[in-house]
Amino acid sequence: MISNSRAAHRDHDHERCQNAALAQARALCQHRSARLTPAREAVLHLIWHSHRPVGAYTLIEQLSAEQGHRVLPPTVYRALDFLLAQGLIHRIPSRNAFIGCPFPEVRHRNLFLLCRQCGAVAECSADTLDQAIATTAARAGFAVDGHNLEIDGLCQQCQ
């Protein structure tokens, strides 16, 4: 099992998270010949501002402030689409919000731990759990493409 909950749900030097994520994104995009343009990188940087999911319109506001002129929805949504396609961010459906992926180089299913107190979201990837999900689906004769698991509760810090 890999997880970023130790960082996400604790006090930590978050600039390291942010810098690491940006560096990794640049490396990954270079390797894939995908173009991490300034606009896309700016959105990714804003998303990594914290471990809390961010709404698209919040990003629009922040980006507008940063760039000194009014940024419109399609600009941000296009950047988000790119980042989603590259697996650099995830969308949290229950929140209509986006969060940075801490391990974009690894193919993985979606598994999030959402703390109702501090709002931070950690991501995990657990093969045993993915297996259990596959098994359950198989018992219903269901062929799995993918899944999204959101676990609500309290992180260790907030208990």
Partner DNA sequence: TAGCAGATGTTATTGCATTACATTTTTGGT
Partner DNA sequence: ACCAAAAATGTAATGCAATAACATCTGCTA
Chain contacts with DNA (rule: CB under 7 A): 34-35, 37-40, 55-58, 69, 71-75, 77-79, 82, 91, 96-97
Asked if residue 17 binds Zn ion (CB under 5 A), the reply is: yes
Of 54 and 155, CB closest to a copy of itself: 155
Asked if residue 84 binds a copy of itself (CB under 8 A), the reply is: no
Chain Cα centroid distance, residue 116 = 17
DSSP string, 41-110: HHHHHHHTTSSS-B-HHHHHHHHHHHHTSPPPHHHHHHHHHHHHHTTSEEEEGGGTEEEE-S-TTS---E
Give the separation between CA 6 and CA 16, rounded to whole angstroms.
14
Q: Contact 113/124 with Cβ under 8 angstroms?
A: yes
Q: Find the binding residues for Zn ion in span 82-121 (CB under 5 A).
A: 101
Query: Around Cβ 154, how many Cβ atoms within 10 Å?
Result: 14
Give the residues across from 77 on adjacent strands. none
Q: How far is the CB of 7 from a copy of itself (least distance, A)?
A: 11
Q: Find the binding residues for a copy of itself in span 121-150 (CB under 8 A).
A: 122, 124, 126, 128-129, 132-133, 136-137, 139-150
Of 7 and 77, CB closest to DNA: 77
Phi first, then psi: give them for residue 68, nearest 5 degrees: 75, 10
Binding site for a copy of itself (CB under 8 A): 1, 3, 5, 9, 93-94, 111, 113, 115-116, 122, 124, 126, 128-129, 132-133, 136-137, 139-156, 159
Binding site for Zn ion (CB under 5 A): 7, 14, 17, 101, 123
